[in-house]
A and B are shown apart, each in its own frame.
Chain A
Amino acid sequence: MKTGVQQTVVGVAALEHDAQLMLRVREGDQASFGLLLEKYRAPVVHFLYRMVQNQAVAEELAQEVFLRVYRSRTSYEPAARFTTWLFRIATHLALNWLRDGKHERLQERLDEEGEGQTVRRDVPDRRPSAEQILLKRVRRDEIRAAIAALPAKQRAAVLMHKYQEMDYAQIAGALGCSESAVKSLLFRAYETLRARLRRLA
């Protein structure tokens, strides 16, 4: 029979690598926080960007995500996978931002700023033709619009499923609902997307 200490040691050894890093952060190891930041910076920002569809807002929300992770280090308990916990924080912040209607005001401002303006970017010499750029932009806008038209929870479920390759249980953990609810969200979302993006085939 194993003692409590042995069980703890075995438990920690069996923990996923990220959770172990987070436990080290709890002990004051800043380097471990740096490793987690390095690994999840881009996935979190990209997820938030696709949720709120604005890069500056996505980065600001991502800063808040990692700030909350750091603040929670002393109370962190590896009850769920680290990614599930991380994306629960990210989803919570994104849903709050969307719920507060800030995106509508932002979209109005972007629309106003975009009128009559051309985007200037430095591009390499082997750039695609103007037609290709336009076509790509049209396709991207259609995808963005299709995703933006989804209800916020469906959107979050699709983005975690597609881009983070999370399984139903992880998405359920991040959204705080059951697996069957996640499946329902996902399948409705994909059905809507299939109808909307059919012309891109």
Chain B
Amino acid sequence: MRCPETDNQELLVAYGAGRLGSRETAKLEAHLAECEACRVACAAQATVWKALDGWEAEPLASDFDARLLARIASEEQPGWRRRWREWLRAVAARPAVPAFAALFMVVAGFWLLPRGAPPEPRADAALVREIEIIEATLDDLEMVKELSGGDRGEGARSL
């Protein structure tokens, strides 16, 4: 069963949106108390309104203004400068180009930067100490070699 009030879409939508004047609201609400069809229609419109309320928008990118102002500035540049910047932007957008540029810079940096400085001379005392340690190690090795050779000879003889 339909009610003439329910067919008044403008009234229904305005009520659901809370944009109906106080007198009209009071009049409609008095009617709603008695009319099932209108109550159902208003409830359905309220559901739509509430559902749309729940649809949150995504947050904006933080560089939105910067991008826009750059485009405006670009448009206000003389023609040749604008074309040059657009060409650079188009080239930079190709994935291989920035990678190649980065590789080129690394290689160039390797060749152009000054080589590492030669190691500083060590203090004489430290050098002497290292030589002594090496000599002692060599002596120890020689002794171990002799001892192990002697053991093998004795063992072989006992067999």
Q: Which residues of A contact B (CB under 8 A)?
A: 37, 41-42, 45-46, 49-50, 55, 59, 62-63, 66-67, 70-71, 136, 139-140, 142-144, 147, 158, 161-163, 183, 186-187, 190-191, 193-194, 197-198, 200-201
* Given A63-B68, A63-B71, A143-B52: 17 more A-B contacts, CB < 8 Å: A42-B60, A49-B58, A59-B60, A63-B64, A67-B68, A67-B71, A143-B54, A163-B52, A183-B10, A186-B13, A190-B13, A193-B48, A194-B41, A194-B44, A194-B48, A197-B48, A197-B51
Q: Smallest CB-CB separation from A33: which chain B residue?
A: B72
Contact: A59 with B61, CB < 8 Å?
yes
Question: Complex formed: what's the CA distance from A55 to B71 in Å?
Answer: 19
* A37 and B47 in contact, given A143-B54, A190-B13 (Cβ under 8 angstroms): no
Cross-chain pairs A/B with CB under 8 angstroms, 22 sampled: A42-B57, A42-B60, A45-B57, A46-B57, A50-B57, A55-B58, A62-B64, A63-B67, A66-B68, A67-B75, A71-B75, A161-B17, A190-B48, A191-B9, A194-B41, A194-B47, A197-B48, A197-B51, A198-B47, A200-B47, A201-B43, A201-B47
Contacts of B43 in A (CB 8 A): 201
Q: Mark B46-88, 1 if CB is under 8 A from A, else 0.
A: 0111111011011011001101100110010000000000000
Contacts of B45 in A (CB 8 A): 190, 194
Contact: B64 with A187, CB < 8 Å?
no
Chain B residues 27-50 with CB under 8 Å of chain A are 41, 43-45, 47-50
* A200 and B51 in contact, given A46-B57, A49-B58 (Cβ under 8 angstroms): yes
Most interface-central of B17, B64, B75 (chain A CB within 10 A): B64
Contacts of A41 in B (CB 8 A): 60, 64-65
Q: Mark B117-129, 1 if CB is under 8 A from A, else 0.
A: 0000000000000
Contacts of A187 in B (CB 8 A): 9-10, 13
Q: How large is the interface on B (under 10, 10 to 19, 20 to 34, 35 or more residues)?
A: 20 to 34
Contacts of A158 in B (CB 8 A): 52
Contacts of A143 in B (CB 8 A): 51-52, 54-55
Counting residue pairs across A and B whose Cβ atoms lie within 8 Å, the total is 78
Contact of A144 among B9, B41, B55 (CB under 8 A): B55
Question: Complex formed: what's the CA distance from A71 to B75 in Å?
Answer: 9
Contacts of A200 in B (CB 8 A): 47, 50-51
Distance between B73 CB and nearest chain A CB, rounded to angstroms: 11
Contact: B44 with A198, CB < 8 Å?
yes
* A70 and B60 in contact, given A190-B9, A194-B48, A201-B43 (Cβ under 8 angstroms): no
* A49 and B44 in contact, given A37-B65, A41-B64 (Cβ under 8 angstroms): no
* A59 and B64 in contact, given A143-B51, A186-B13, A198-B44 (Cβ under 8 angstroms): yes
Contacts of A136 in B (CB 8 A): 54
Question: Complex formed: what's the CA distance from A37 to B64 in Å?
Answer: 10
Contact: B48 with A45, CB < 8 Å?
no
Contacts of B60 in A (CB 8 A): 41-42, 45, 59
